Structure 1
C-alpha cells in the first residue's frame, strides 16, 4: 500500500479573522434573531434579502483609488473583469436595490434584513472579519418622525431581548450639529478634512477619556498609560475651547449658526415625538457626543448603548457600550439615481449584542442536546428506529446511535451531546414491554455527590423503567423539568 505524501496535505486552520460557530451558540442566535424579527415586523417592516456580493462600485464610500479595491472590502474580478466585493454592510445593497426598483416600490419603502457582512480589516480580540447585522430602514420618508421611530424601534428591540429599562439608552445627536461645530471652529474646506476627522474621533472618545483626554487629542496629542502617543488635531486654544464648549453646553443652547439651529430643531422635535409615545429621556436621550458614519449620515444619528457592567470569566469588569446604531442618510440612493431620496435606518450588531446578553444575570446552562436511543441489540435496529421516530413525531429531539461501539462508548457519546437522557431497551426490557430511561443530568449530579462507587451502583441514580406506551409522556416530563 502506498503512503500518502504528507507534504501535499493542507493544514486544518481557520482563516485569520474568522471563527466557527457551534450548535449551542447558533441556537441562541436563532432565538435572538427571531425576537428581533418579531419587533421589526410589528413596526410594519418587510423582509428583504440581497446577495452577499455586489459590484464594488455599488459600495461607494469604501472603494479606494487603486488598481485592486481591497481596502476595507474583500474583492475579486469576475469573468468579465468587473470588480466584485463581499458586502461591507447591509445599507449599500439596499441603496442599490431601491435605485434599481424605485418605480415599483411603495413610498416610503420599509424593509428589514439580516445576514453576515465582511470587513477586510485587521482582526483583534472580539473583532472579526465576518459578523452578523440586523437592519431596519425606511426609504422615502423625509420628516424627523421616521428617525424618532427608529429610536423607539431600537429601544423596543433591546427590551424584547431581555435588556431591562435602565440597562440601556438610545443616544441621539445630529450630523448637522457636528457640521456646525466644525464650521464654528474654523475647520471648513478641503485642506482641513484630516483635522475634522481627528476632531470627531476625539469627541467620540469622551466617555472613555473625559474632557481632559479629549482636550489633549484636540491639541498636540495624548500619551496613554502604556506610553503610546496619539497625535492630536493641533487646534489652537480658541478652537479647542469651541469644541469643549460644544460638549459641555446643553444641546438647546447650541444655536450660534444655521447648521446648529436646524440640527437642534430636528432633535427637539424627535424628543417631543418619542416622549408623546411614552419614551422618556431615560430610554431615548439627546447627546451631542454621538459620532457615527461620517461618510454618509446627513441628519439625526443614534446609538444603542448598554449601560450595565458585568464581570467576565476572570472576574474583570466589562461594559459593552454600543451594540447598534444608525441615522439619516439622504444622499446614498442619489449615487445611483442622481436624485435625493430621504432614508433613515437602524442596525444591530447581532454578534456583539449576543455576547453581552450572555453575561446578563446567571450563566445559562448549556442547551440540551437530543435524547439518544441506545442500540443494545444490532438485530433490533428497526425497533430502535421506530422508537426514535415516535419521539420525533411527538416533538422530541431524538436520535438513534448510529456508531458501532458498545454501551459504554454510547453513554460517553450521549454525554458529549449533552443529552438529557438515554433510552435503553435490552432483551429483558423488550420481553416485558418496557424501556429504561436514564436521566444523565440527574445521574451526573448524584455521581458527583456519592464518593463510594459501590453505593452509586446500588442506588442506580436517575434510572427508571416505564412501559413502552408511557415512554413519550415520561421523556416530555423529564425534559420539561430540566428546561424549567
Structure 2
C-alpha cells in the first residue's frame, strides 16, 4: 500500500506578519495625511528598488566579510552580492550619487516602503516593516534641520495627536563629539568605544541612569544578575568620565545649562560648532511659532546609526500605554533622523550635505489605535446581490444590477458560491457585514420588482426581544421592502444614508 504523502504545513516565517484589510486601510489613511504635509512643504515622491548591491548599502550595518550579517542577501549571476534594503536612506544616497548631475539641488524628496533586517525577531521586533522618510539633499544650513523638525511636528498633529502628547527632541552629534573629546575619547583610535558610549546613552529610556552608568563602565548583566541573563560589555569609562557623560545627557533645561555645557566642551571646536547649530535651530523654530512643548533641545537624544554628523532629532509620544508586563509606560519614539553629510561622499568623493528623518509606520499606527484616531470602521461592506436562478440569462441580469450599483459609486458584489442554497447566501452576507441584500426571483422579475433586505435593521429587530434598553431615537423600519426595478439605485442610496445617520447618532450617544 502506497504511503500517503504528508501535507505541507502552512506556516508564517518568524518576524513577518500578514496584514488584514483594516490594517491596510488604516495604513493608507495615515500615510495619506503624512503625505499631504510633505507635499505642502514642497517635497516630491521618489522610489527605489528593494534590492541594492550590498556594498552600496554601506559599512554601517552589513559586514562586508559576512554579506548576510544583519541583511538578507543573495548573489547575482555575476557573483555580486545584493541585499534587501535595511533602511530607505542608503538607497537614496546611491540614487542621488548616480544621478547627481541631473538632480536639482536642494533635492527635497519623500518615499515609503518596506525595509528588512536579518535579525532575531521578538515582541514588537520584526524582520520586515514599513518606513516613511523625508530628506533634503544639498541643504547645508541648520535651517534645513529646523524645517525637518517642524515638518515632523506638523505630520504628527495632522494625524490627530494633540500638543502635549508629543514632542520633537533635538540634539547635535557635534556637541556629543565635543563631550567625547572632553572625556578623552577623541580620534579614530577610539571610534569603537565612542560607538559603545552612543549605544549606552541610547538606552537611557529603557534602563534609566543606573543602567546606563553600568554600560558606560564595566558592563551590565541583563536582569541585574548573572543568573538572570547575558552580560553586555561596557565602554570602560572611569567615574570622572561617566559623570561628564551623564551630566550632558541629564540636561533637562538646555538654556539654563548652556554655560556649564559650554565649559565642558570649551576646548572642542567641533563641539562649539554644534552648540551654535543647536541655538540656531532653537531660534528658527521659535520664530515660526513652535514652542518648547512641540520642539525641544534635548542632549539625551543620540540616534543609533554612526553616519549622523550634525543635528539629530526624534519624535516621541508622551502618553502612557500598558506594556506586555502590565506596567504603565510612556509610548516613546515613533521616528527620528538627523544630518548625514558624509553618506553620499562615499560614492562621489565630494561633500554633499543631507538631512532627513524616518517614521516607523507600524509603530505610529499602534499609537493611533491607542488614541482611537483611525477611522477605518467607517468603511461600508458591499451590498450583496443574491442569485436565485443560475442560468446565463438570469446571471446577466444580476450582474447588470451589480454594475449599476458600482457605477453609482456603491460597493457591491454578486454572490459567487453555490446559489442553490439561498440560506448560505444570507449567512455569507452576515459574515461579510453586508448592509443590504438584493433579491429577485422569477416572481419578482415577472412583476418588474426587487426585494431589498435591510440586514442591519433585521439584526436590530431580532435583538429587541432581549435588549430592553434599545435605542429609542431610531424609528422602526421594515427589514425588507419591495421596490420597482427602476428605483434600485435611489432605494439603496436612501437606505445607506439612513445607516450612516444611525452610526453618527450612535457615536454622539443620542
Q: Could you state the TM-score of these two structures normalised by the residue count of structure 2?
A: 0.86
1-side partners of 2:18 and 2:319: how far apart? 28
The equivalent of 2:386 in structure 1 is 374
2-side partners of 1:222 and 1:73: how far apart? 27
2-side partners of 1:232 and 1:479: how far apart? 63
Instruction: State whether residues 446 and 461 of structure 1, in contact with CA within 8 Å, keep that contact through their aligned partners in structure 2.
Output: no
Instruction: State whether residues 57 and 90 of structure 2, in contact with CA within 8 Å, keep that contact through their aligned partners in structure 1.
Output: yes
1-side partners of 2:446 and 2:491: how far apart? 20
Deviates more, 1:88-97 or 1:209-218: 209-218
2-side partners of 1:233 and 1:313: how far apart? 30
Instruction: State whether residues 310 and 360 of structure 1, in contact with CA within 8 Å, keep that contact through their aligned partners in structure 2.
Output: no
1:25 to 18, 23, 26: 23
1:34 to 32, 35, 57: 32
1:339 to 346, 350, 358: 350
Secondary structure of 2:350's partner?
coil
Structure 2: tracts of 5 or more residues without a match: 468-475, 505-510
1-side partners of 2:373 and 2:39: how far apart? 30
Matched, 1:473 2:472: no
2-side partners of 1:239 and 1:44: how far apart? 45
The equivalent of 1:213 in structure 2 is 211
The equivalent of 1:285 in structure 2 is 296
Instruction: State whether residues 173 and 267 of structure 1, in contact with CA within 8 Å, keep that contact through their aligned partners in structure 2.
Output: yes
Give runs of aligned pairs for residues 81-480 of structure 1, distance below 5 A.
Answer: 81-223=79-221, 224=223, 227-228=228-229, 229-249=231-251, 250-251=253-254, 252-253=258-259, 254-255=261-262, 256-257=265-266, 258-311=269-322, 317=328, 319-361=330-372, 365=377, 367-379=379-391, 380-405=394-419, 406-451=421-466, 462-480=479-497
Write out per-residue CA displacement over residues 46-85 of structure 1, whole angstroms, 9 at most, x where no aligned residue.
111111111111101233132x401111111111111111
Deviates more, 1:407-416 or 1:186-195: 186-195
| RMSD (Å) for aligned C-alpha atoms | 2.6
1-side partners of 2:110 and 2:104: how far apart? 15
Instruction: State whether residues 113 and 134 of structure 1, in contact with CA within 8 Å, keep that contact through their aligned partners in structure 2.
Output: yes
Query: How many correspondences in the alignment?
Result: 475
User: How far apart are residue 260 of structure 1 and its match?
Assistant: 2.4
Distance 1:331 1:193, change over 3 A: closer
User: How far apart are residue 293 of structure 1 and its match?
Assistant: 3.8
Deviates more, 1:206-215 or 1:295-304: 206-215
User: How far apart are residue 11 of structure 1 and its match?
Assistant: 2.6
Instruction: State whether residues 160 and 373 of structure 2, in contact with CA within 8 Å, keep that contact through their aligned partners in structure 1.
Output: no
Instruction: State whether residues 168 and 316 of structure 2, in contact with CA within 8 Å, keep that contact through their aligned partners in structure 1.
Output: yes
The equivalent of 1:63 in structure 2 is 62
Instruction: State whether residues 195 and 306 of structure 2, in contact with CA within 8 Å, keep that contact through their aligned partners in structure 1.
Output: no
Deviates more, 1:462-471 or 1:136-145: 462-471
Structure 1: tracts of 5 or more residues without a match: 453-458
Secondary structure of 2:338's partner?
strand
1-side partners of 2:3 and 2:382: how far apart? 38
User: How far apart are residue 145 of structure 1 and its match?
Assistant: 0.8
User: How far apart are residue 132 of structure 1 and its match?
Assistant: 1.0
Instruction: State whether residues 312 and 359 of structure 1, in contact with CA within 8 Å, keep that contact through their aligned partners in structure 2.
Output: no
User: How far apart are residue 123 of structure 1 and its match?
Assistant: 1.0
2-side partners of 1:44 and 1:337: how far apart? 26
Write out per-residue CA displacement over residues 333-367 of structure 1, whole angstroms, 9 at most, x where no aligned residue.
10101001000111111111112111213886484
The equivalent of 1:15 in structure 2 is 13
Deviates more, 1:56-65 or 1:415-424: 415-424
User: How far apart are residue 400 of structure 1 and its match?
Assistant: 0.4
User: How far apart are residue 125 of structure 1 and its match?
Assistant: 1.5
